[in-house]
Amino acid sequence: MKASYVIGVDYGTDSVRSIIVDAQNGKEVAAAVFQYPRWKEGLFCNPGQSQFRQHPLDYIEGLETSIKDCLQQVTSDVVENIRAISVDTTGSTPVAVDETGTPLALLPAFKDNPNAMFVLWKDHTAIKEAAAINATAATFHENYLRFVGGIYSSEWFWAKLLHIWRVDEAVRNATYSWVEHCDWIPFLLAGGSNAREIKRGICSAGHKALYAEEFGGLPPDSFFTAIDPLLTGFTQRLFTNTYTSSEAAGNLCPEWAQRLGLSTSVVIGIGAFDAHMGAVGGQIEPYHLSKVMGTSTCDMLVAPLAEVRDTLVKGICGQVPGSVIPGMMGMEAGQSAFGDAYAWFSNVLSWPLQHLFNDTTSPDLKKHIREANAKIISELSRQAAAIEPDENSEWAIDWLNGRRTPDADQSLKGTVTGLNLATDAPRMFRAVAEATCFGARAIVERFEREGVPVKGLIGIGGVAKKSPFIMQMMADVMNMPIRIHKSEQTCALGAAMFAATAAGLYATVEDAMAAMGQGFETTYTPDAKRSGIYTERYRKYKALGAFTASMNID
């Protein structure tokens, strides 16, 4: 292979990251991060109502700035030999677009309307709509939810569309189509101008929009009409074909080629969700659960189609042929709050610092406050790691942002119990961290109960790289080793691998993984004594979870 470079773009919750990678060996030669300015200001969001929206300008500005920042770090030879760009995003994060494929928030009439913006993955305003979808599905002889675990979530495509349409007539009337973030960015880069021509990835279509070959595509119009007559006929404005991320969405259009300083020969790959491409960047193996651990978790598992095609795993976030690796079954699960749970507790502790000294003019005091806030989680982790687990210490349930898997229910709330006058911050933090690990164990337990073995664990993402305390606890709770991938930007690296495949530099994604994978930096092995204690505590965690669910007040 002659000198060839690819760009991987990873859209996260708070920022977008771009990297330039040598396609021959996966070496990262440039990287840049862009924080979303409107999101950082808290615009268009209402956490009290679980409303989290992002303006498309944050995405567009981030795309241009991060790629151009990368290009400024490399020589002209590298720029001239960039072959492809692929993108991953959070999801399900859809948006309403007009007939040209333009998000409504980019039109003057809707520029400040949150309902015209991207509905972020963790937006849970569509709980009632998800309930309507589930109730309607139960009345049909054909089970249209069987490939998404049997339960439709408020985090997903159709629930979010229906909610927006129910609460905002102006947006409803202006909507031509409804598009996932991961499908819209490649359309943008390729210069698309017709919403009907947006190429939808099998990842987003299968896991969130109910697309399946067994249904001949999307479920029939009668299903959606039964949910709500507002949806009648809408599937005609969506899609009938899907594509794997190893395929091309087109080439870089002249406008974006000029904006970025690249050639129109650059291939644009089909997009996918961050965890799906992250699993590839993290060198996923059959029956090994790839855990992308950040603000939430997405857990990916792949298996040969011939071995699992007729197996249906209840309560997960979908199983779709080709969604992670073409030719294999891709299965997705996850937790709605992981790093977010630790950040929540840190924010509770830092409240006095943030508010009691809000009016200070002392530069030194402001500096000390910033430093203290930055150290809270690391210091909590250090002290919590020194606490030996026992069967009766503090307990928590990790549903602070609802439950994604097993059995999606975003109306559920978290729990902290077993407190006494000796309970301090490290002990409470330990209980919260343990709860997130127990939530991870529940996912493994569900896969195995449904006939899909989990033979190993792969950890990728910010928490996996930064928290030895939580990773060791994860290994102890699971009673299974967990390998931590070496790459700092696993999702972006996975996008780069798909870019290389879409450009024809590799025949298969597996070939790209073999050549470009960076390997693993460490393995956490379980402590037998602690694993035994955690097994008993996990039994009580499940009992507490059942009680918490029974007391849920929506």
Domains in the chain, number: 2
Residue 503 and residue 366 in one domain:
no
Q: 402 by DSSP, 3-state: which?
A: strand
Exposed, middle or buried: residue 413 (CB in 10 Å: 0-12, 13-18, 19+)? middle
Predicted confidence at residue 112, as pLDDT, reads 97
Residue 405 and residue 474 in one domain:
yes
- Cα–Cα dist 258/261, whole Å: 5
- Cα–Cα dist 49/173, whole Å: 24
Residue 345 and residue 268 in one domain:
no
Identity of the amino acid at 511:
D
Predicted confidence at residue 553, as pLDDT, reads 59
Residue 353 lies in a domain: yes
Identity of the amino acid at 551:
M
Q: How far is CA 78 from CA 66, 71, 186, in A?
A: 16, 8, 22
Q: Under a CB-based contact definition with an 8 Å cutoff, are residues 248 and 65 in contact?
A: no
Sequence-distant (6+) residues with CB within 8 A of 213 are: 321
Structure-token match 């202006």, residue found: 174
Domain span at 408: 339-485+522-550
Residue 497 and residue 428 in one domain:
no
Residue 178 and residue 214 in one domain:
yes
- Cα–Cα dist 222/232, whole Å: 8
User: pTM value?
Assistant: 0.93
Residue 362 and residue 392 in one domain:
yes
Residue 432 lies in a domain: yes
Residue 420 and residue 501 in one domain:
no
The number of beta carbons lying within 10 Å of the beta carbon of residue 196 is 13
Sequence-distant (6+) residues with CB within 8 A of 20 are: 5, 6, 7, 28, 29, 30, 31, 70, 71, 73, 74, 78, 82
Question: How open is the CA angle 431-432-436, to the nearest 5 degrees?
Answer: 115
Residue 125 and residue 207 in one domain:
yes
Largest distance between two CA atoms of the chain: 68
Residue 185 and residue 199 in one domain:
yes
Residue 95 and residue 213 in one domain:
yes
Predicted confidence at residue 119, as pLDDT, reads 98
Residue 505 lies in a domain: yes
Read off the CATH number of the domain in which 434 is found.
Answer: 3.30.420.40
Which residues make beta-bridge pairs with 19? Answer: 8, 31
Residue 161 and residue 230 in one domain:
yes
Residue 476 lies in a domain: yes
Predicted confidence at residue 88, as pLDDT, reads 98
Peptide bond into 56 cis (omega under 30): no
Residue 333 lies in a domain: no
The number of beta carbons lying within 10 Å of the beta carbon of residue 169 is 9
Residue 456, CA atoms < 13 Å, CB-side half-sphere: 15
Closest CA to 319 of 420, 213, 225: 213
Local confidence pLDDT in tens for the 554 residues of the chain = 789 999 999 999 999 999 999 999 999 999 999 999 999 999 999 998 999 999 999 999 999 999 999 999 999 999 999 999 999 999 999 999 999 999 999 999 999 999 999 999 999 999 999 999 999 999 999 999 999 999 999 999 999 999 999 999 999 999 999 999 999 999 999 999 999 999 999 999 999 999 999 999 999 999 999 999 999 999 999 999 999 999 999 999 999 999 999 999 999 999 999 999 999 999 999 999 999 998 899 999 999 999 997 899 999 999 999 999 999 999 999 999 999 999 999 999 999 888 888 777 788 887 878 888 889 999 999 999 999 999 889 999 999 999 999 999 999 999 999 999 999 999 999 999 999 999 999 999 999 999 999 999 999 999 999 999 999 999 999 999 999 999 989 999 999 999 999 999 999 999 999 999 999 999 999 999 999 999 999 999 999 999 999 987 55
Residue 105 lies in a domain: yes
Query: Which structure tokens are listed for 215?
Result: 């249904």
Residue 343 lies in a domain: yes
Structure-token match 């009680």, residue found: 547
Residue 270 and residue 349 in one domain:
no
